[in-house]
Structure formats: structure tokens, C-alpha cells
Amino acid sequence: MSDAPVKPSAGTRLRLRITASAESIVRSGHPWLFSDSIHETNRPGQLGELAVIYDRKDKFLAVGLFDPDSPIRVRMLHAGKPVTIDTAWWQARLVQTLARRAGLFDATTTGYRLIHGESDGWPGLVIDRYDTTLVLKLYTAAWLPRLDEILGLIKEKISGERLVLRLSRNIQPLAEKQFRRRDGQMLFGTAPINPVIFSEHGVRFEADVLRGQKTGFFLDQRENRREVETLAKGRRVLNAFSFSGGFSVYAARGGAKSVTDLDISAHALDSAKRNFALNQNFSAVAACRHETVQADAFEWIEKTAAKFDLVVLDPPSLAKRATEREGAIRAYERVNALGIHLLARDGILVAGSCSAHVSSAEFFDAVRRAAMKSGRKFSELKTVLHPADHPAGFKEAEYLKVIYLKFTT
């Protein structure tokens, strides 16, 4: 491959024929076509170009972005009737995506997801808003040759003072070598000197948009944080795997007596302290005792003698790949058993999972098993899946699930 950026080919369209089973999967709207499902191509495809998929009767089936180096060879943009993918089509798609967020947030929430990848029709592409800062994150190299085009669309339809580019780790070498694009690079506007400040339901947070995990904050847990606020009054709260203390500041605003942030990362805990400082205008936050513990949470919760009235357990993904699924289910059961053990009478467990390879049923059952084996009386308050700005349109996209249990003995 040359070092020059590869432009989507203007010559003959890339045409693919695929296996019968892949045909029905694509027809049903699934956004991924794997390389081993392709049995015929008219020519080699280039990164980011449009690939048109035809069925056995030579009828148009779908069109998507081609990636010659990924096992997900095509990421669908559209399936069904034939379409022309031109500037007007992209504009319409963006307008449609933004319209899905209309009315979701009022002025007290300035941090949320504008585009959520496949499930919004933008496979492998995310845009988050943090007040006037926009963050574009790419999880597939197929968008790299199209960045200028995307940039034009964003400038036209989304207001913002700056746009940061974030790249998933696996595409960073290619992005640098072939496209001179780097993780944390500004696409427009000036680089922020400090973390950017935004708000969620009136709670102020900082986000490290240049280097932080995901795009700088876990925006997907917003509605669970708000729920925790309503449950926290008078309680001693443990926020295990706290990151920057998102759940904790809400708990404090909800009247928690004390909040303990537990994370292995000193960087995350420093951010949690600053997030508490940002919200001292709320008298309940100012009155709440806040402590941070830097430790391996799995070890700490096993050893501590402390008791809590509300435990939030939201670990990082415990199954990074499908083969880790069973081990992850056991690990969820074990870590939640330990969390339950720390709960005082009438204590509440808020257990989360962000592993796409573990289904919500498998996760909820693992937590319920832990609760049953504890021998304590408990009731299930609720289960929560994806929030509206993080839609999950197909099975592999369903990563987020949270279950709330209350232990009455």
C-alpha cells in the first residue's frame, strides 16, 4: 500500500456477492458483513470505499463501507431499496440522527451522545458533545479517507467551538502512517488546556476529552446516576470502579451521608475530587463526606470490614472477547457476592455490566444468583438497559445493563 491517503475509487463500483446465510442477515438489517461471508468480488476493494452487495438474483441488497484489513469487511450504511450515497444522502442521514435527540435533554444537560455508531446508521463512528466541545471517535479505519467529508457535514449541522479526534487503539498506527491523523488531534478549534466542563441534570463534571477513556466520560450511565441520586439519602455509599466519581456526585447531591470512591487509577480519583469540588454549590454535596481509595477493587471489597447502605459496582468489561464469556459471568457473580456482603440491612446494590459478550439475561441472573446465595431477603427494584442517546439496534451492540436489588435483612 502507498503512504498517500487512499481516495474512494471513482472507477467501477466495488460489487460483492455473499453467502445465503449472510444475505438473510444483511437483509434483516444487521450492520456487519464478515470477510468469510463474501464469495465473489469484481475487484480488490480499498479502505473506506462503498461496497455494493447484490443478492443471488443480482438485485441490490445493501451498501456499506469497505475495510480490506478488518474481519468485519463491510459495515452497512443502508439495506433495502437501491440508493445513491451522495452529499445529500449524508446530510439527510445526519439530520435524521440529530432529530432522534430532539427533546431528550434540557439546558441542564450539556453532555450527551449525538451519534452512536451502527445503531444510529454510522458504523464505528461516535460523536459526543461536552458543552461546546465535540469529540469524534472512530472505531474503524474505514472512515479515515472520509474525514474531510465528515468534517464538512459536522461544521454544517452541529454547533461547537472545537472538535477533537479520538481513535480506537487498533487503528492508530494506520491513521498516523497513511493519513497523518493522531488520537487527540484537533479537527477544528483550539486544544483545551484543562479538562472541559459540562453538566448532566445540573451536576457539573470535567471530561478529559484528549486522553480520557472512551471520549472522556461514561455518558452512557447518566440515567443510572440520576436513579442513584434518588436512592442515596442518608446512606453510606461505596462507588466501586468509580472512575471520575460520576455516581458519587449524584449520590452526594441526593443526600448521601458519605461517599467512598474506589478505583485503581489515581488519575481517575483525582478527577473525582475535582468533580466534587465543582459541585460545592449544592449544600448536600458540600455536607457529604467524600473519601477516595486507590486499590484493586476486587481485593479491597474482599478484605474491608466497612459496611455501606448503597454499593455501586460498575466494573470495566470483564469479557473483552467471546471466549471470555463464561469466566466473566462467574466473575460478575463473585464480585457482586462480595458487594452484597458489604451491605448493611436495607442496603441497595446497583450492579452494572458493560460487556457486550455477556447478555443482559446472563448478567442479571448472575447477580440474582449472588443475592440468593447470600441467604438474605432481597427484592428487585429494577433493571435498566441503554439510554436513548446510546441506542442498541442489534445484539452485539447491547453492552449496557444495570440491576438494582434491595436487601431487607
**What are the residues binding ligand SAH (CB under 6 A)?**
218, 221, 241, 243, 246-247, 263-265, 268, 296-298, 314, 316
Q: Which residue has the cell 455509599?
A: 237
The nearer residue to ligand SAH, 111 or 246, going by C-beta atoms, is 246
Please, what is the minimum distance in Å from the beta carbon of residue 30 to ligand SAH?
Answer: 28
State which residue, 186 or 293, has the beta carbon closest to ligand SAH.
293
CB of 290 to ligand SAH, least distance (A): 15
Q: Which is nearer to ligand SAH, 94 or 313 (CB)?
A: 313
Treating both helix axes as pointing N-terminal to C-terminal, what angle do 360-373 and 325-341 enclose, rounded to 10 degrees? 40
Q: For the chain, how big is the Rg over CA atoms in Å?
A: 23
180: left (phi over 0), alpha (psi -120 to 50) or beta: left
> Of 153 and 356, which CB lies nearer to ligand SAH in the complex structure?
356
Strands 203-207 and 196-200: antiparallel
Alpha helix positions (H), 170-324: 172-179, 222-231, 246-253, 266-277, 283-287, 297-303
Q: Which one, of 130, 110, 316, 126, lies nearest residue 217 by Cα?
A: 130
User: Interhelix angle for 87-99 vs 147-157, to 10°?
Assistant: 50
List C-alpha distances in Å: 85 to 65, 91, 372. Answer: 11, 10, 54
Whole-number minimum distance, CB 92 to ligand SAH, in Å? 34
- Output 145 or 246, the one with its CB closest to ligand SAH: 246
H or E segment and range at residue 164: strand 162-167
Amino acid identity, position 308: F
Minimum CB separation of residue 217 from ligand SAH in Å reads 7
CB count, 10 Å around CB of 225? 23
Cβ proximity to ligand SAH, 242 vs 374, nearer residue: 242
Q: How far is CA 170 from the centre of its chain?
A: 17
CA 262 to chain centre: 21
Tell me whether residue 183 or residue 263 sits nearer to ligand SAH (CB atom). 263
Q: How far is the CB of 13 from ligand SAH (least distance, A)?
A: 43
Cell of 329: 459471568
Q: Provide, rounded to whole angstroms, the least separation between the CB of residue 314 and ligand SAH.
A: 4
* Cα atoms found within 13 Å of the Cα of residue 346, Cβ hemisphere only: 6
DSSP state of 91: H
Shortest CB 55 distance to ligand SAH, Å: 42
Cα 63 from Cα 51, distance rounded (Å) = 6
- Tell me the closest approach of the beta carbon of residue 399 to ligand SAH, in angstroms: 12
Cβ proximity to ligand SAH: between 74 and 349 the closer is: 349
C-alpha cell of 286? 458540600
For ligand SAH, which is the closer residue by CB, 80 or 316?
316
Nearer to ligand SAH among residue 223 and residue 396 (C-beta)? 223
Task: Name the helix (H) or strand (E) containing 401.
Answer: strand 401-407
Q: How far is the CB of 244 from ligand SAH (least distance, A)?
A: 6
Task: In whole angstroms, give the CA distance from residue 22 to residue 165.
Answer: 33
Q: Give min distance, CB of 112 to ligand SAH, in A.
A: 14
